[in-house]
Amino acid sequence: MPPSSTQTSCCSICLEPCRTFTWVHKLLRAFHRRIGESEAWSLVTCHHVCCHKCIGLWIEELARSRRFDQLTCPWANCQEAIELAHVRELELSATARSFVEQAHRWRLGTGVSCPQCRYINPLTETNATLLQPATKLVCTSCKTAMCTACANQWHPRQTCRESQGVRTLSATDVLFVHLAKVKWNYQPCPHCGIFTERRSGCASMTCRFCWKTWVWKSRL
């Protein structure tokens, strides 16, 4: 008898059985019908399996929370990145597909986070030099003009440092800064200035606002 074109594995998310196929069968069935929710999805690099329904829902949830750092294989402790090519066969919303594209730019450092809506904008060849010189970039999503060097709103005739020191703090702002530094032990992101809380783990931090990485400085 010819070998079966399908095998049964367990989804790494819901732990229910899902069907895996040989690459030949995948190619043939792609021209005939839609993929079932209980059929297996996996990355070529790690081969960890989960069903199409679960991986689709999982990516949609990551898109809602904008957790670029968690767009990896859902298998425990697996850090293989999920790229747009890996999700083409999934029935994702336009928002989720855009999220996967933005995550790719964030990982490679080829995008700028909008200070207004946090959309990760692609850098073109003309403004790809992120630090020098600073250039104007209009957000694809909300049309906010921003600076490619500091990722803040565009500041003509001002340096990045000058533009960041313009805002006058209110009494509430002063109280918050005091509590954040003294009582809550928050530290500001060195890239965008947003206060960050470290709950546990290593000293490597990822800012949830600008999505740049930095090292937490111990006060001990």
Mark whether 32 and 68 lie in a shared domain. yes
Give the CA distances from residue 180 to residues 84, 174, 177, 185, 196, in Å, rounded to whole numbers and listed in that order: 38, 10, 5, 6, 9
Same domain for 159 and 177: no
Q: Domain of 47? A: 6-105
Q: Tell me, yes or no, whether 129 and 210 share the same domain.
A: no
Strand partners, 6: 21
Q: Check residue 178 and give its pLDDT.
A: 75
Among 85, 105, 125, residue at a domain's last position? 105
Residue predicted with more confidence, 41 or 67: 67
Distance CA 87, CA 96 (A): 10
What DSSP character marks residue 75?
Answer: S
The alpha carbon of residue 98 and the mean position of all alpha carbons in its chain are separated, in whole angstroms, by: 10
Q: Is residue 1 part of a domain?
A: no
CB 170 within 8 A of CB 178: no
Does 137 lie in the same domain as 59?
Answer: no
Which sign, positive or negative, has the C-alpha torsion 163, 167, 173, 179?
A: positive
The pLDDT of residue 207 is 81
80: in domain: yes
| pLDDT at position 4 over 60 | no
Amino acid letter, residue 84: L
pLDDT score, position 102: 93
DSSP state of 72: B
**Among 146, 163, 180, residue at a domain's last position:** 163
47 and 69 fall within a common domain: yes
User: Are the C-beta atoms of 42 and 22 separated by less than 8 Å?
Assistant: no
Q: Are 129 and 188 contained in the same domain?
A: no
pLDDT at 38: 61
Q: Say whether pLDDT at 147 is over 60.
A: yes
Indicate yes or no: pTM above 0.75.
Answer: no
pLDDT for 103 equals 92
Q: Which CATH number characterizes residue 52's domain?
A: 3.30.40.10
C-alpha span between 198 and 23 (Å, rounded): 44
Same domain, residue pair 41 and 24: yes
pLDDT at 66 over 80: yes
CB 108 within 8 A of CB 114: no
pLDDT of res. 194? 80
Question: Given a cut of 70, is residue 35 above it in pLDDT?
Answer: no
Tell me which of 12-26, 55-69, 93-107, 120-134 is least confident: 120-134
Structurally, how many domains does the chain consist of? Answer: 3
Higher pLDDT, 64 or 25: 64
User: Does 58 share its domain with 84?
Assistant: yes
148-170 pLDDT, tens digit each: 888 888 988 888 878 776 566 67
The pLDDT value given to residue 125 = 58
Q: Which residues pair with 146 in a beta bridge?
A: 137, 153
Same domain, 19 and 78: yes
**Residue 220 lies inside a defined structural domain of this protein:** no
> Is 108's pLDDT higher than 50?
yes
